[in-house]
Every structure is written in C-alpha cells, then in structure tokens.
Structure 1
Amino acid sequence: MKSIKILSVLCLTVLFFNFTSKQKDNTKPTVYTVGDSTVKNGRGDGSGGLWGWGDYIGQFLDTTKVRIENHALGGTSSRTFQDKGLWTAVLNKLKKGDYVLIQFGHNDDGPLNDTLRARGTIKGIGDETKEIDNLLTKKHETVHSYGWYIQKVVQEAKSKGAIPIICSPIPRNDWKEGKVPRNDKSYGLWARQIAEKEKVTFINLNEKMAVEMEKLGEQKVTGTYFYKKDHTHPSAKGAVLAASLITNELKTSKISLKNYILKNPKIVLPAKKKVFLIGDSTMANNKNENAVGWGVAFPQYCDTTRIEIINKARGGRSTRTFEKEGLWTEVKNQLKAGDYVMIQFGHNDAGAIDKEKFRGSLKGNGDETQQVVRDSLTETVHTFGWYMQKFIREAKEKGAIPIVLSQTPRNEWPNNKVERRTDTYGNWSKIAAEREKAFYIDLNEIVAQKYENLGKEKVKPFFPKDHTHTGAEGAAFNALTVAESLKKIKDCGLREYIEIPSK
C-alpha cells in the first residue's frame, strides 16, 4: 500500500513538472520565420546539402528565453504562402510580444497564372489587382502586388501584438565582374518601402550578404557557401552567414529581440559523413608521383563540405594482410552509423599463401581454410571472398554502408583487349557483395571498356611506373569513373554527395 502511495506521488510530481514546464514555455516569446526555401529548404533537414537561414537563426538566440518556429516553405511566394493557409496557421498562434521574421521575393517573379505553380505577384507595392481563373487551383482569384501581400502579413501580425521584421531576399550566387547583383530595384526595394510605410524594422539582408560574399570572392563562396549545382539555396555555411547578418542587424535595432541574442553563440554545423576507402596501392596514397591510387583524386569529385574522405588503403595489402595487420580493425572501430566503406582488393591476393610476403588468400568465396606456420605462429588463411564478406558484414553491423568495387584493370592488352579478371577476383567480389546485400561496382569492366575506347597509346601515359599503378592522370581518370558509377546507383545515398564536373 505504501509503495502505491509513493508511486502516485511520483506520477503527480512528474505530471506537475510537465504541466509547469509547458506553461512556462508558453509564456516565452516566439520567433516565427515565414518565407520561401531560402528560409527553410525542404523539411529543414539539409537534404542535398541545402539549408535555409531560418534553420540556424535559433543558434544565435537564447532558447531558454525565446522559442523558434520556422514556418517557411520552399516554392512559396508572398501570395501562395497566404493562399495555402500557411500564414493563417502562424497568425492563429501569434500572441503579444512574439516576433515574425518575413522574407519573400525569390518566387514572386513567376507567372501569375499557369498550370505549374501560379505563384507570381504583381510587381511593386501598389493596390492594382488582376482577376484570374487559377489554372492550377481551378478557383477564381484576385492577385495583388508583392507589397500588398507583405503589408497584409505585417498588419495582421501587428494586430495580434506581435513584432514584424522584414528582410530583403538573400542574394543569388550569381556574379558579374566580381560583383553579386543586388535586388535593390525590385523585391529588396519593395520590401524596404513596405517596412517604411508600416514603420517596422527592415533588414537589408540582400545587401549585407552580397557585401560579405564579395569580400570572400566567387571562388571561395562557390562550393562553400553555395554549391555549383544551385545558385539560389545556400549550404549550411551560407545559411549560417545569412542568420548571423540578421542577428547583427538586430543588435543595433530598437527591437527587444536583441536582448535574446547570445554574445558568443556556438554554431553547430551538420556533422560530416565519413567515407572510408580500404584497399591496396591502386587506391592508396602511396606518396609516389608514379604510383597514385585513385583514392587520392576521388575527393575532387565529392562534396567535401558534407562528407570526409578517409583513405585507409595501403600499398601491398591483400584482404588477408589488411585483416591480419589490424588495418581493418582500426577502420571498423571508427565507423559510425551512416558512414560509408568502399572496399576494393584483389591485386595482391593472388600472391603466395605460405611463403615470401605471406599475403595470398585462398581462391573463391568458400569456407575452406589453410593453416600456415610463420615465425612459429600458426595463421588460419581464408578465401578472398571470406575476407571480403567479413569486411562487408562488420561494416553493416556498425551501421555503415559498404560499397564493393572490383579491382582496377592493369595496362595489359592480350589480343588487343584490356585484361579482365572477370572470372576471378571481380567475380568473387561480386559474389561477396551479393551474399551480404552490399552495393557493387564492376570497376574492372567499366574502366577496361573506357581504356579500349581510348586505345593503347592514350592509356599508356596513365601508367608511368609499371602495368599496375597509375600516375596522377590515370588516378583522376579512375576516380572520375568511380564517381560516375556511384552517381548511377539510385538507392545509394552516397550518390547525393558526388559532384561530376560539367564537360
């Protein structure tokens, strides 16, 4: 009976604590952000490496004293954000003392009426309207000016006792003669005019961010703050830059929101996924200009702002010695869920099993073993496929994603055809991948076909040392082939981080 009473008291305490916590949280002012994909891209999870500044502005604010809600939606204009009921959802929650950060314009320049998006607004801040039968929604609609829609949001926010703040749209990563074009004669101007008309704070984010971009220069901005593939949506670093500029402007404003800005914010960017490369000298960094593994050139085809390439391949290693020397254990202990492991062996597995370098593995994918005595110690040697499956299986146990590749072809041309290892190590690699349900790239065959298309004479410079090891040019050629092959694997998440240069 006593234990029941104690349990009841504990339950009531927990319920009371949760209730008071929620009550306290509801008394905090809330910062609402409304806008398009440059404020919140997609689901706000960084898909494709793209972020909105609304996803990071919370890191500049004291969230023990203020709440953040990012209600922006990609693809919306000042008009469609309201037509879709997104503004109403915010308006219904607004209370006195809340803040509304407003940024639209990127999508307002579209068609007023079409079957695709029908999201455009009339240019300017006037009261002119246009009656349309919306081809997309099938509804009759009165379309207003950009300024009219922004002013409506401002006035309705003020009617609830909230404090609206208007931002001009962030600049696009377009450059003309070293300068970033402004929108101070269009949406930036009109946003400012509405702010002045309604006597609310205006942040010229377009100008402020353009200035910072120009200080950095086009070469540094592209690939760090924006991606080559997208001139509109910033990376995490670009979104942080925009958020920092907004908070810097707020610090000098008369708005009470400045009281919640942290003096020394600790900005946390998304953790990079790791891509581990394990293999032999044809993948490794051998520190020899005449023997360069493709893994050395591979990072240039990757978005290294979001992933880290860790080349753990080692010259002279077979599957057997990579395991025996603890090289695999070293990689395995670093693996985390979501990391990738690219596995490629075979060049050294054909060596002697019980003499010389003691690196050969048994042929095939079976479970047979051979006992080898070396330096008074007995080693159990397994098949090539057994070791490959072990790497794959143990990578998956750590939550990592293994990708198996067949070995690179040698510069050998029997019967004027590049030598394949289709029936041996390439096949055994494929079988191991299939058995463990891992991704597989037949790099041997793909590169061999490319070599044959180029011809012997053009391929010859790829191999300055011998018939196995490529130089820098051959390594880059193979690395690009790996990148292109990854890009074609639809279900492999790594393809999202691959960047193939335009020809």
Structure 2
Amino acid sequence: MKLIKIFSALCLALLLVNFTEKQKEIPTVYTVGDSTVKNGSGKGDGGLWGWGDYIGQFLDSDKIKVENHALGGTSSRTFQDKGLWEAVHKKLKKGDYVIIQFGHNDDGPLNDTLRARGTIKGIGNETQEIDNLLTKKHEVVHSYGWYIQKVVREAKEKGAIPIICSPIPRNDWKEGKVPRNDKSYGLWAKQIAEKENVTFIELNNNMAIEMEKLGEAKVTGNYFYKKDHTHTSAKGAVLSASVIISELKKSNNSLKNYILKSPKITLPAKKRIFLIGDSTMADNKNENAVGWGVAFPTYCDTTRVIVLNKARGGRSTRTFTKEGLWDAVKNQIQPGDFILIQFGHNDAGAVDKEKFRGSLKGNGDETQQVVRDSLTETVHTFGWYMEKFIKESKEKGAVPIVLSQTPRNEWPNDKVERRADTYGQWSKVAADKAGAFYIDLNEIVALKYEALGKEKVKEFFPKDHTHTGAEGANLNALTVAESIKKLKDCGLKDYIEIPK
C-alpha cells in the first residue's frame, strides 16, 4: 500500500512538471502601448478599458497566452525611457509576439515639467538634445518612427514576431465621419512596418469604419463615453480587439493560427443598484405620482450599472418587511451591489388599526404585539427596521445608502416642512449605528424648493402634497445623483453621470 501511494505521488509530480513545462513552451503575445491598450490597472477603473485586456478572449488560451504590458500616459519614447520595454524584452523568447501601438501621447511637448513625452514627428533619424525638465537628465530625443523601429528590431533579435498597429481613432465626429490619422502617426506606423517587413494592422481606419457604421449616437455612450473621446468602454475595447483580429485573419502572420473560430466574449458584469422605499421612489405607473427612482437611471452609467427599482407604493419599513418584499430583494443581492433605502412617509400610520403599517417611533429595541386576523405580529421601531435592511445588505456584501424621505409640498411659516427631528433623524441614527452612507435628501431638496418658490414647486405636485409628477421626480433624482457624487469613499459615485 505504501509503495502504491509513493508511486501515485511520483506520477502526480511528473504530471505537474509536464503541465508546467507545457505552459512555459507555449508562445506569449505581449502588448505594448498606451492607455488605449491598457487603461489604469486594466481592471476597468472608471469604466475604461484597453483592447489589450480583451484580445486574449479571441485567442486559444490553451495554445497561447497574453500579457498586457501597456501603460497609460506613455509615448513610444517614455515607454522605453521608463524601462517598460526592457522588462518585456528580457522575457521575450523565440516564437513570441509583440503587438505595438503608440501615437496618442507622442504629440506632446518634447520637454516640459509635466510629462515630457513628445517625440519628433515622422520616421527620420533627426534628434534633439535636451536637459529633461521632468527627469533632470540629459536626453537625446528621436523621432516616433525611430522608437517604433527600435522595438521592432530588438523583438526580432530575440526571435519574436512584431506586429505594428496604427493608433485607435478618437471619438471625434465631423459631418458624420470619424477623423483618421493616416497622415501622421497612422502613416508613420505603417511606414516602419513596411520598412521592417512586419505585419501592419490598420486599426485606425478600420475601427473608424466600424464606428461610422454604428453612427455617432450609438457609439457615444456605449463604445466611448461622453466624458472621454479617447478611451474606450469595455464594448469599445472589444471592438478595437475585433478589428485587430479581423485584420490578422487576412494577413500571413502566424498569430492567426491561434484565433478561435467562435470566441465567446465576456464583458464585465454590470453592478446593480437596488432601490427600496415607498411611492415617492417607486414606479407607480401613474403620471401624477412618479417616484424619483423612475428618473434615477438617467443619471447612471447604464453601460456599467443596472437600476432595479423595488420600491412599492403604500409601504412602510414594517410592511416592506412583513410582506416579504425585503426578503425578495435580499435573496437577489450579490457582493458589490448597492442598496438605496428610503422610508418614512407611511411609517407614521397607525400601528394596530386601519392599514396596519405604522412602525414604532425612534431607534430603540421596544416592540408592540399587534393581533390581526387571529395572528400576532411583533412590531418594531422605524430605526430597528432600517438597521435590519442595512445590516442584512452588508452581510450580503452590498453597499447600503440611506436617504431621508422626500419633502412634501407643505410650507408652514413659508418654509418647506422638514421632519428632521423624526424620520430624518431616525434614518441618520440607523445609518450611523449600522454603518451605512447617509444622504439628508429631505433637507437638500427642501432648500432647492425654497430657492424655486411656492408657485414653481406647486407644479411638481399635480396629485397631492406628497407625490411628484415627472418634473418633480426628475429634480429629486438629480439631487440624489448629485448627493451620491459627494459621498466620500463611496464606490457608487463612479457610476453616476451628471450632465454639464
């Protein structure tokens, strides 16, 4: 028996060694470039991705691997000056591939105190000597083409196969067309590829063609963001990668042998924002009683998040719990989701009669037994229920955000009525005790109402003093979005978009 165990262990060790050796033997695709190849840490910060993060999904990972060594902010010059190319060069082995794309940052100043990353235009051998104001070093600056050619030749010396791409187009439109760079960096990249007899990928023009097929309205906000005309979203990065793959298929480059016939492209899963509350948040299917949750997605980056409005008219913290509405939401929550919690309008109702929806006042642990239809219900305080939502959200790995209730169209002493010493205060105490973010929406909206005046605000409430129409709901939704943007250390603010 002991010999069998030893033999089994040896076989397993040999299998692991063989697997490791096999992994070492397969070629590697190294991508080098700027932020359009890898943005930030390559984890989609701010929703921005580079094509180097997705090109691997088009390739057979059992036969080839991808390492994205691009760095945002670099030019063909600074990528080498910072030692980034040297780090790749040391790892290169015969049969590896190097996909090269630079140009977006090469047009900057040759020498300044900010970035000092520019290169001389063209592909010539002219140079300029500088005392670099940023690095404090003496430096000889070369042309864009010279730096690209250097990478190509050094890759070849190691037996690697270089591939040059023209830079992706920017999301600038003129009369329905995307401008090309075929007279500058795109042209110079092509000229070096021809000079060195290596594969050239016309990424700039071909991606621009695909963008024009889609149209500006569809590209902006989906493949690029309105706030950024240079860096792609995940969908834009996949588009860039797909163009490269398409061009590789037409080439005689051996990398095309590793392209999957039917690649399955996986985009990042959208974060989810759950809204729980009453009719002032809910989608009531009534034009005279529109909850702000209906307008809220307008202020969210819906390419990266989905808003799930689970608020329900007429509910209090108590009935939202008792009717199983909270459990239904809780069962859907996944780590990284966000939960916006707002109650109070209906919690002031009767505890033991009529609609049976009132909760006990305050944040304490006191309870009241209520008998209804021969069943006994234990009713808790408003704060107890709010803390329950917060704690159970956090247990699921979600991020809870508590909001005080929206103000009503009531103006005692010519000031919008606040309930700061009741439900607003109890909401804040619950948030503080259970560790949630808090937004005093009641106060912030009340101040906006007072600035607008009674007559204008009256237009927001076509039905009664509690429920807004579409215009009032939009003001409240915008206020929520603005308030989230101001929350320190809250990840949700990265998904909020406020029109300028």
- TM-score w.r.t. structure 1 length? 0.98
Provide the rounded CA distance (Å) in 2 between the counterparts of 1:501 and 1:79: 37
Per-residue deviation at 1:14?
4.1
Provide the rounded CA distance (Å) in 2 between the counterparts of 1:459 and 1:228: 31
| Aligned residue in 1 for 2:270 | 272
Structure 1: any 5+ residue segments left out of the alignment? none
Per-residue deviation at 1:7?
5.8
Structure 2: any 5+ residue segments left out of the alignment? none
Provide the rounded CA distance (Å) in 2 between the counterparts of 1:427 and 1:52: 46
Per-residue deviation at 1:19?
2.1
Per-residue deviation at 1:158?
1.1
Query: Which residue, out of 237, 245, 248, partners 1:247?
Result: 245
| Aligned residue in 2 for 1:357 | 355
| Aligned residue in 2 for 1:489 | 487
Which amino acid letter does the alignment assign opposite residue 380 of structure 1? T
Secondary structure, aligned partner of 1:64:
coil
Which amino acid letter does the alignment assign opposite residue 341 of structure 2? I
Is the aligned partner of 1:396 residue 2:397?
Answer: no
Per-residue deviation at 1:17?
2.8
Is the aligned partner of 1:348 residue 2:346?
Answer: yes
Provide the rounded CA distance (Å) in 1 between the counterparts of 2:208 and 2:428: 50
The answer to which of 478-487 and 77-86 deviates more is 77-86
Query: Which residue, out of 66, 70, 88, partners 1:90?
Result: 88
Query: Which residue, out of 417, 429, 452, partners 1:454?
Result: 452
Per-residue deviation at 1:10?
5.1
CA offsets per residue over residues 410-452 of structure 1, 9 Å max, x none? Answer: 0000000000000100000000000011100000000000100
Per-residue deviation at 1:490?
1.9
| Aligned residue in 1 for 2:423 | 425
Q: Percent identity?
A: 80
The answer to which of 265-274 and 8-17 deviates more is 8-17
Provide the rounded CA distance (Å) in 2 between the counterparts of 1:437 and 1:391: 11
Is the aligned partner of 1:16 residue 2:14?
Answer: yes
| Aligned residue in 2 for 1:217 | 215
Superposed CA RMSD = 1.0
| Aligned residue in 2 for 1:335 | 333
| Aligned residue in 2 for 1:307 | 305
Per-residue deviation at 1:97?
1.2
| Aligned residue in 1 for 2:434 | 436
Which amino acid letter does the alignment assign opposite residue 350 of structure 1? A
Query: Which residue, out of 173, 184, 187, partners 2:185?
Result: 187
Provide the rounded CA distance (Å) in 2 between the counterparts of 1:10 and 1:393: 49
Which amino acid letter does the alignment assign opposite residue 450 of structure 1? K
Query: Which residue, out of 34, 47, 50, partners 1:49?
Result: 47
Is the aligned partner of 1:164 residue 2:162?
Answer: yes
Provide the rounded CA distance (Å) in 1 between the counterparts of 2:257 and 2:78: 33
Q: Residues 20, 297 of structure 1: CA spacing in aligned structure 2 closer, same or farther, 3 A cutoff?
A: same
Secondary structure, aligned partner of 2:91:
coil
Provide the rounded CA distance (Å) in 1 between the counterparts of 2:270 and 2:70: 25
Provide the rounded CA distance (Å) in 2 between the counterparts of 1:7 and 1:41: 49
Per-residue deviation at 1:268?
0.3
Query: Which residue, out of 134, 137, 140, partners 2:138?
Result: 140
CA offsets per residue over residues 217-257 of structure 1, 9 Å max, x none? Answer: 11111110011111111000000000001001101110111
Per-residue deviation at 1:29?
1.2
Which amino acid letter does the alignment assign opposite residue 175 of structure 1? W
Which amino acid letter does the alignment assign opposite residue 232 of structure 2? P
- TM-score w.r.t. structure 2 length? 0.99
Which amino acid letter does the alignment assign opposite residue 44 of structure 1? G
Secondary structure, aligned partner of 1:290:
coil
Provide the rounded CA distance (Å) in 1 between the counterparts of 2:486 and 2:307: 20
Provide the rounded CA distance (Å) in 2 between the counterparts of 1:430 and 1:455: 27
Provide the rounded CA distance (Å) in 1 between the counterparts of 2:110 and 2:453: 55
Is the aligned partner of 1:121 residue 2:119?
Answer: yes
| Aligned residue in 2 for 1:263 | 261
Provide the rounded CA distance (Å) in 1 between the counterparts of 2:290 and 2:84: 55
| Aligned residue in 1 for 2:293 | 295
Secondary structure, aligned partner of 1:78:
coil
- Aligned pairs, number: 500
Per-residue deviation at 1:162?
1.1
